[in-house]
């Protein structure tokens, strides 16, 4: 069943191209490991096992990592009411609703498809946003589920994760056990580390490019579904400003999951990190919402966003 979220052909094309390129990279990566390690059974079993685990259990992994827990209607009736209303409006299955006990105002969606999805908000977000702003943020997250880009970004991130783990494993193996290995083994480990680092870098760039566009697509879809782009713009401004004031040490844990968040966990002075950000700039997002507001004639009905 198709939802009423506005379809985005450019997003679909970008997801298809990204998955195709990452698929080629994945095959080349596995082939290189098989040649270097001379054990195709070990490589294939480990790679397939990790991919399967990430695909089937991505929602649980994300909730655990971001300290989220599933909440019932009796505990958060207003939150469930907003999700119910948006799902009815979008004609899509209701996802599992979760809350993370974090002061950082944010939200994320995860899951392999619309029937197995989770939408999670932080307590910091619930405390800061007005009802219309919260609706805009949740519509943004639900659009990720409806467009299936949350599943794509989950699968796409797998290759970078496994490559990064291999780089770390190879590094620490050489660091702490180099004296016990012969020269040939050291060369193989160096080659594995080099291939893994290259794969990680390429997948990193591909995922960032897709992630930035999908955030703009989600903003656009949410604004058109709710008819209140100004409410989403207000939420973006408020959340981005509050995150910038949170101490950097409190953001470091969250930064590993920036690709899933409504807004990235960046400090007041992100510096070079902005170039590699998973999200477009706040200015880009607000400019787009301003254009949509003009197209919808929202300025003519100021009471609508309240």
Which is more confidently placed, 172 or 203?
203
> How high is the pLDDT of residue 250?
56
> How high is the pLDDT of residue 35?
75
- For residue 250, is it within any domain? yes
Q: How many domains does the chain have?
A: 1
- For residue 39, is it within any domain? yes
The two tokens of residue 13 are: 């094309």
Place of tokens 């709710």: 226
Is residue 128 packed enough to be buried (19+ CB in 10 Å), middle (13-18) or exposed (0-12)? middle
The pLDDT of 92-113, averaged and rounded, is 91
* Nearest alpha-carbon partner for 219 in 195, 238, 199, 235: 235
The pLDDT of 103-125, averaged and rounded, is 90
- For residue 234, is it within any domain? yes
Residues spanned by the domain of 15: 9-295
What is the tens place of the pLDDT at every residue in 286-304? 999 999 999 988 644 433 4
In contact, 140 and 219? CB cutoff 8 Å? yes
Cα gap 107→150, rounded to integer Å: 13
Is 75 one of the annotated active-site residues of the chain? no
What is the tens place of the pLDDT at every residue in 160-198? 666 666 666 656 655 445 545 556 767 776 777 777 778
Residue 234 pLDDT exceeds 80: yes
- For residue 1, is it within any domain? no
> How high is the pLDDT of residue 158?
66
Share of the chain above pLDDT 70, in %: 75
- For residue 265, is it within any domain? yes
> How high is the pLDDT of residue 140?
96
3: three-class secondary structure by DSSP = coil
Distances (CA, A) of 136 to 203, 210, 223, 233: 30, 22, 7, 9
**Is 78 labelled as part of a ligand binding site?**
no
Mean pLDDT lowest among 19-28, 60-69, 150-159: 150-159
> How high is the pLDDT of residue 155?
74
**Is 101 labelled as part of a ligand binding site?**
no
Cα gap 149→276, rounded to integer Å: 19
**Is 140 labelled as part of a ligand binding site?**
yes
Mean pLDDT, the chain, integer: 80
Q: Is the pTM of this model over 0.75?
A: yes
- For residue 2, is it within any domain? no
What is the tens place of the pLDDT at every residue in 117-167? 999 999 999 999 999 999 999 999 999 999 988 888 877 776 666 666 666
Cα gap 202→199, rounded to integer Å: 5
- For residue 4, is it within any domain? no
- Given pLDDT bands bounded at 50, 70 and 90, which one contains residue 98? very high
The two tokens of residue 233 are: 């713009």
Which is more confidently placed, 280 or 154?
280
Share of the chain above pLDDT 90, in %: 37
Given 101, 141, 269, 298, the catalytic residue: 141
- For residue 301, is it within any domain? no
């Amino acid at each position: 069943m198709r939802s009423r979220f506005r379809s985005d052909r450019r997003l679909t094309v970008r997801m298809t191209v990204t998955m195709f390129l990452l698929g080629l990279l994945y095959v080349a990566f596995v082939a290189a490991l098989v040649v270097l390690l001379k054990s195709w059974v070990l490589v294939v079993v480990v790679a397939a096992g990790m991919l399967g685990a990430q695909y089937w259990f991505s929602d649980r992994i994300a909730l655990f990592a971001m300290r989220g827990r599933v909440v019932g209607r009796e505990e958060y009736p207003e939150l469930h009411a907003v999700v119910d209303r948006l799902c009815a409006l979008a004609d899509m299955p209701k996802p599992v609703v979760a809350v993370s006990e974090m002061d950082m105002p944010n939200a994320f969606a995860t899951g392999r498809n619309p029937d197995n999805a989770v939408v999670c908000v932080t307590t910091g977000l619930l405390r800061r946003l007005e009802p219309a702003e919260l609706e805009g943020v949740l519509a943004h997250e639900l659009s990720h589920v409806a467009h299936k880009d949350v599943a794509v970004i989950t699968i796409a991130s797998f290759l970078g994760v496994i490559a990064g783990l291999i780089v770390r494993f190879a590094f620490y193996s050489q660091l702490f056990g180099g004296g016990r290995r012969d020269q040939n083994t050291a060369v193989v480990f160096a080659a594995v580390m080099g291939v893994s680092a290259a794969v990680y870098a390429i997948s990193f760039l591909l995922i960032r490019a897709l992630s930035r566009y999908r955030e703009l697509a989600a903003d656009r879809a949410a604004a058109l579904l709710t008819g209140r782009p100004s409410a989403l713009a207000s939420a973006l401004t408020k959340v981005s400003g509050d995150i910038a004031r949170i101490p950097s040490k409190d953001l470091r844990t969250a930064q590993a999951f920036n690709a899933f968040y409504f807004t990235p966990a960046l400090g007041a002075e992100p510096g070079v990190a902005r170039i590699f950000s998973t999200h477009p700039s706040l200015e880009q997002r607000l400019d787009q919402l301003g254009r949509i507001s003009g197209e919808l004639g929202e300025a003519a009905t100021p009471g609508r966003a309240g």
